[in-house]
Amino acid sequence: MSVLVVNDLVKVYPGGVEALRGVSFRVEEGEVFGLVGPNGAGKTTTFRIIATLLKPTSGRVIVDGVDVAKEPLEARKRLVYVPEEVGGYRRLTGYEYLSFVVETFMSARGASRDDIDRALEEAVNLTSLDPDVLSKKRMQEYSKGMKRRVQVAWALAVRPRLAILDEPTSGLDVEASYELRRVIVEYAKSRGVTVLLSSHNMLEVEYVCDRVALIKDGRIIEIGTPREIIEKYGARNLEEAYMNAIAGHREG
């Protein structure tokens, strides 16, 4: 079953800037799907439209059977979106912030108190942060990496139908990045959380993603498993395959 269907998405900003030029792809249930491209390729615009924060110029997005343009409130009950630069409420401790966002999201879905409490406990564990840090330090004192861990933790713990993660390991060290990648894959496979993510780390994408869409100048230029794309372009890795795909796209 396709949890996310993006069909012929076009976005033209004021002044005639074409951010998206007919973007289409599907993400299946329990799949980790990567949208990969350089800055300005259209990744964030795509994510914001899916998350109901922007309206497309044309095209359609369906999340778990809900048209995000026609029923944005229903769509928001089914998805979470963690932007790259999200920080959280500065004056709340990490635990207070987790409590707030977990309860807000799950209450909107009609979850029971027990389910909310379980999700909060799970979010706390997923951060892998020291309990004193979570309970005593305010978010304004957290490093970027610590904030990322808090954000991704709650996004997975509430078990949305679709988790949109923009650069989920940004700011994390090697060990923390490895652990977070493991958690993302585990949640997708064992708990039915469908994940759409972006990353500048091509090795990360190879490890985490079941399938990948390569985007350039607002157009999808290739979709497939990392291995399929690597083999198609005679490359040693996904980064090299992406560069080969761009070169071929220019020539075409």
pLDDT computed for residue 89 by the predictor: 86
Q: How far apart are the first and last CA of the chain?
A: 33
Is 153 within 8 Å of 102 (Cβ atoms)?
no
pLDDT computed for residue 251 by the predictor: 52
**pLDDT at residue 118 greater than cutoff 60:** yes
Model confidence pLDDT, tens digit, residues 23-62? 999 999 999 999 998 888 999 999 999 999 999 999 999 9
Tell me if the pTM is above 0.85: yes
- Across the range 220-247, mean pLDDT stands at 93
DSSP E strands in 64-178: the ranges are 66-67, 79-82, 162-166
Percentage of the chain surpassing pLDDT 90?
73
In the chain, the domains with their CATH numbers are 22-78+160-252 (3.40.50.300), 87-159 (no CATH)
**pLDDT at residue 204 greater than cutoff 90:** no
CA atoms within 13 A on the CB side of 245: 26
